[in-house]
Structure 1
Amino acid sequence: IHYVTGMKMQYLNRKEKKIMKTSKKDVNSTNGQPVDADLETDMSRPSLSEPSNLLLPEQIEILAKHLPPRTVGYLWTLTFSASKHGMSIKTLYRAMADQNSPVLMVIKNSNGEIFGAVASEPFKVQTSYYGTGETFLFTFSPEFKVFKWTKDNMFFIKGDTDSLGFGGGEGVFGLWVDGDLYHGRSHMCKTFGNQSLSKEEDFIIQDIEIWTFQ
């Protein structure tokens, strides 16, 4: 009898431990603590309207962590691509006409370097600077760096009919592209306290992607 009772107690103990382990797993899931690392990665990776030709999946995940909070949960929509829509800033501005979300601009230059800007609002032609402190610059070359607003000035975005620039101070832009979307330039600027986003301050553009969030 004692032997049977002992076996029954061992069975109950094992069953109790199993129930406790399962309950802990359920609680962790309820509290938003992922049980599976791969599942966590999938949940943190944003959804894109189509694959990016410029950004790797891991680069997308890194950028997503720095985007304005109001973009979280929205589809990344490829609104303009120089390889698809042509190398024209006028076409770029037309693509922005009906947008009302922040904008991610990714540039690949002729040296294969990837960098760009996140703008607080769609690009447009305006006589003065526009935008807010959500705007920032970034580069993946040679490693990822992000340059947020220093609060030194408010020269966020400048859209002309023949160019588009980000940041300013002392007559230079943190990032600038010409009307043909062919030549670009990146200098240190006070708005973002950035270094040159590319190895060479003057560069040739190979492709541009612009993503909106909707």
Structure 2
Amino acid sequence: MGNVQSPPNNDPRYVSATRAFTQKELEDLRSLFINLANQSQSNGKYISPSVFQSYFGLHGPLGERMFDLVTQERKDQRLTFEDLVDAKATYEKGTKDEIEEFIFRLLDVSGDNFVGRSDLETVMIAIFNDILCIKGSEDRSCSHQDIFNIFLNAANFSKHDEGGTEETMSFEDFRSWCTHLPSVRKLLGSLLLSPDSGRPGYQIPKLLTSKAIDSNIILLRKEYAWHIGGALSHQDLEDWNLLYHSSLNGLSFNTFLGNISNHAGPTVLIIKDKEGYIYGGYASQPWERHADFYGDLKCFLFQLNPVASIFRPTGANNNLQWCAINFSSEDIPNGIGFGGRVNHLGLFISANFDQGHTFSCTTFGSPCLSKTNRILPEVIECWGVTQDATQDKNDAVKGTILERFKEDRNMLKMLMFMMTT
């Protein structure tokens, strides 16, 4: 089969690339190549662009750019077995820097050695239209272009295209963009995985609501859920149930607490304020009465509109989640929130649900999430994250074993003490 049967052993790049794989992985790659090469009607010698793009689900400029990178930009429209091994060794088995350098080059869909806003827009259009198959915005008040823009607004362009008018992105700009958009980073880092392998970054939680609810009043559209889900594990990306919506249940803290009381898992809190900004937080722990901060490092803050960003814990402090109910002290403000410090949280909604605040905070490295520090909520909604039942069961079993082990160890200590006295 041409290149498949007689690899160029004198090519140091190819020889080095093969060392990144087990023998079984190389055999699987060989089988994949043979299959796609036969479909390409090349007598098993190479894979054509159309077959490559069809198999990996990559079309248009993004698919063309990926094919160029995998074929080392030879422009001969022929992807050899050595090309496939070389590309996957770098893109999937390489160091973090090597993988991110490959993705950064992939973003240059125009092939002009610069990554500008137009390149990113082309990539985001491909992600939503061709890969995630979200063809249009679910909210009639927001155009599809607006959705693209919230992801582009998270990018910084600190360089200038010499001889051009467009500002461009540096490698550090790209890394920062990926930090704020983990869903984008996950997806762009898995494009050469097998389409049936459950590729990271492709999962969109199923949003479950009552059939009687008008979908146009829901803040959490699919694009937003995909964005938030980028910071979560696969087991948290199954079903998200709408537990509370202020337009239906009223802006009431008591109703909010009542509606979520039967949900034991994590929740996604989303706020739209009267400035039109949309943002919120992921609460890994139930909303329960505390006199101080609580929670764990799974909590995070996020922005949805007019810019999409994720802000994970920095480790600066443990002021993660806040839920104070019916306290009379001014030092314990009643309400819910995330991060920062008392009376100066990264995000806080008062117990009246009629006002709140957002400040930059070191807990999440987040900025003020709205136009101003003061929040006047217009819509508040909360979603319950349904975690994988199998995972929960395994965790429960582990917890039981640990507790049993602790009890047995204490009993053993007591027996040893009695034997020595």
TM-based fold match above 0.5: yes
Change (3 A) 1:170 1:205: closer
Contact kept? 2:344, 2:357, Cα under 8 Å: no
More strand by share: 1
For the pair 1:182 / 2:182, whether they are aligned, the reply is no
SS at match of 2:256: helix
SS at match of 1:174: strand
Contact kept? 2:240, 2:383, Cα under 8 Å: yes
Please tell me the root mean square deviation across aligned C-alpha atoms, in Å: 2.9
- Which of 293, 302, 308 is equivalent to 1:129? 293
Contact kept? 1:187, 1:195, Cα under 8 Å: yes
Specify which structure has the bigger relative contact order, considering alpha-carbon pairs within 8 angstroms and separated by 6 or more residues.
1
* Superposed displacement of residue 213, structure 1: 1.6
More helix by share: 2
Structure 1 equivalent of residue 267 of structure 2: 103
Deviation string, structure 1 residues 80-104 (Cα, Å, up to 9, x no partner): 1111112111221122222122111
* Superposed displacement of residue 171, structure 1: 5.0
**Distance in 1 between residues matched to 2:226 and 2:205, nearest whole Å:** 7
Q: How does 1:1-214 map to 2 (within 5 A)?
A: 17=41, 33-34=56-57, 40-42=131-133, 44-50=203-209, 51=215, 53-72=218-237, 74-161=238-325, 162-169=334-341, 171-214=343-386
Change (3 A) 1:94 1:200: same
Q: 104-113 or 118-127: which moved more?
A: 118-127
**Distance in 2 between residues matched to 1:202 and 1:179, nearest whole Å:** 15
* Superposed displacement of residue 16, structure 1: 8.6
**Distance in 1 between residues matched to 2:363 and 2:39, nearest whole Å:** 62
* Superposed displacement of residue 56, structure 1: 3.4
* Superposed displacement of residue 19, structure 1: 9.7
Structure 2 equivalent of residue 8 of structure 1: none
* Superposed displacement of residue 145, structure 1: 1.7
**Distance in 1 between residues matched to 2:259 and 2:218, nearest whole Å:** 19
TM-score w.r.t. length of structure 1: 0.78
* Superposed displacement of residue 196, structure 1: 0.3
Change (3 A) 1:140 1:204: same
Any stretches of 5+ residues in structure 2 without a counterpart?
A: 1-37, 60-125, 134-201, 210-214, 326-333, 387-421
Contact kept? 2:338, 2:347, Cα under 8 Å: yes
Partner amino acid, structure 2, of 1:104? V
Deviation string, structure 1 residues 185-214 (Cα, Å, up to 9, x no partner): 001122112110001100210011101122
**Distance in 1 between residues matched to 2:246 and 2:284, nearest whole Å:** 21
**Distance in 2 between residues matched to 1:173 and 1:196, nearest whole Å:** 10
Q: 86-95 or 53-62: which moved more?
A: 53-62
How many pairs align? Answer: 195
Change (3 A) 1:68 1:209: farther
Change (3 A) 1:199 1:40: same
**Distance in 2 between residues matched to 1:188 and 1:98, nearest whole Å:** 32
Find the structure with the greater CA-based Rg: 2
Dislocated runs of 4+, deviation >3 Å: 18-21, 33-40
Deviation string, structure 1 residues 24-68 (Cα, Å, up to 9, x no partner): x7xx96xxx447876741563321113461133322222221234
TM-score w.r.t. length of structure 2: 0.42
Any stretches of 5+ residues in structure 1 without a counterpart?
A: 1-13
**Distance in 2 between residues matched to 1:172 and 1:203, nearest whole Å:** 12
SS at match of 1:79: strand
* Superposed displacement of residue 69, structure 1: 4.1
**Distance in 2 between residues matched to 1:113 and 1:194, nearest whole Å:** 15
* Superposed displacement of residue 109, structure 1: 0.4
Change (3 A) 1:197 1:16: closer
Structure 2 equivalent of residue 11 of structure 1: none
Structure 2 equivalent of residue 3 of structure 1: none
